[in-house]
Amino acid sequence: MRLLIVLPKQQEATGNFVTARRLRSGLQRLGLTVSLCAIDLSESAILTSTIDRFHPDQLLLLHAWRSGKPWLDSRRTVTCPATVLLTGTDINQGLDNPEQNGVIQTVLQQAAAIVSQNPITVNTLRAGSSPWIERLHYIPAGVLLGQSAYPLRQRHQIPQQCRLFLHPAGIRPVKANLELLLLCDEIAQQNPDFRLAFCGPNLDIDYFKKFRAALDQRPWAHYLGSIPPDAMPSALAEADLILNHSRSEGVSNALLEAVAVGRPILARNIPGNAAILTTDELYSSDQEFIDRARRFLLAPTLRAQAPATRRQTFSAVNEAEQFAALFYALTP
């Protein structure tokens, strides 16, 4: 079988690219021929020409809006079945956006199958009355850990004795990077050895300018830029606590990798995070975040690694096998 994975054109450190590369690797091991096509919203012609050259049996649209719209625009010439992999942005923002809602609904109605990797999202959608619900599938996300070394503390001159909190996410409003930085002022004032680091691509120029200006006023905070995906496990392993302050997530690849590496986590209590984390790792308010962060800094026992059984929860092999089974079931 020949599969074309269609994804938004973004920097390769983004979650969409991480997911696409992981799926390509897993499906290729199962014998599928897989290619990636990264496009912008207006590049349906590129998608059409790629399909003409590659001759796929199936399409996987990673993002109902950003990959789905070009697919709709090319539907007159593209006839192979398409599966949509929903993202957190689709569910938590796109469906509420007047410009995107109609397109997303049409994409989901015309897709041969729809996949979500978040069980909470699946249960919520199945409780509704959308006509495409019977084609909705839940496939758990997997983790494929890179092997490149990344001496985070040495490279960015962060002393070993400092307690390092790391927030791995692209710099954009939905990830609330700036809000997290401001929230940590109180923690930094009371803990001189506290350090906060952000890593991820700049995905919103105006927001990044505000974020950078605020960060430059705080010597205890660092922006590390984009860390290569293959080096993320090494970087995560050097942090004492992994943070996620996002307003919206599907399933965060960075958090999945943090679980796999065995790092402690503190994340905002949203459906995307609650689907993969325990209650003790979630906070529901700014004050609860501050309280839990303080407690973490004072209690060395909280910094122990997660049990190995939990680290093995997210299987890239199982993920690839379930996607392959779905694709073969959809083959005419």
- Residues 223, 247, single domain; the answer is yes
- Residues 100, 191, single domain; the answer is no
- Residues 192, 131, single domain; the answer is no
Q: Residue 310: its pLDDT value, please?
A: 56
Is position 102 within any domain?
A: yes
- Residues 216, 160, single domain; the answer is yes
Q: How many domains does the chain have?
A: 2
Q: Residue 238: its pLDDT value, please?
A: 95
- Residues 165, 130, single domain; the answer is no
- Residues 120, 164, single domain; the answer is no
| E strand map for 216-272 | 221-223, 241-244, 265-268
Report pTM. Answer: 0.89
- Residues 185, 284, single domain; the answer is yes
**One-letter amino acid of 24:** R
- Residues 200, 320, single domain; the answer is no
d(CA 40, CA 172): 18
Could you tell me whether strands 2-8 and 58-62 are parallel, antiparallel, or unpaired per DSSP bridges? parallel
The rounded average pLDDT for each run of 10 residues, N- to C-terminus, in the chain (332 residues) is: 94 85 97 96 93 95 94 84 91 84 93 95 90 94 94 95 96 96 96 96 96 97 95 96 94 93 94 92 96 88 54 83 96 81
Is position 75 within any domain?
A: yes
- Residues 229, 281, single domain; the answer is yes
Domain housing 50: 2-142+315-330
Is position 278 within any domain?
A: yes
- Residues 320, 303, single domain; the answer is no
Is position 147 within any domain?
A: no
- Residues 193, 326, single domain; the answer is no
Is position 107 within any domain?
A: yes
Is position 65 within any domain?
A: yes
Phi/psi at 19 (5° precision): -65, -45
Is position 250 within any domain?
A: yes
Q: Residue 303: its pLDDT value, please?
A: 54
Give the CATH number for residue 84.
3.40.50.2000
- Residues 183, 292, single domain; the answer is yes
Q: Residue 85: its pLDDT value, please?
A: 96
Q: Residue 90: its pLDDT value, please?
A: 87
Phi/psi at 11 (5° precision): -65, 150
Q: What is the CA radius of gyration of the chain?
A: 20
Q: Which of 324, 325, 331, 327 is nearest to 26 (CA)?
A: 324
Q: Residue 156: its pLDDT value, please?
A: 95
Is position 171 within any domain?
A: yes
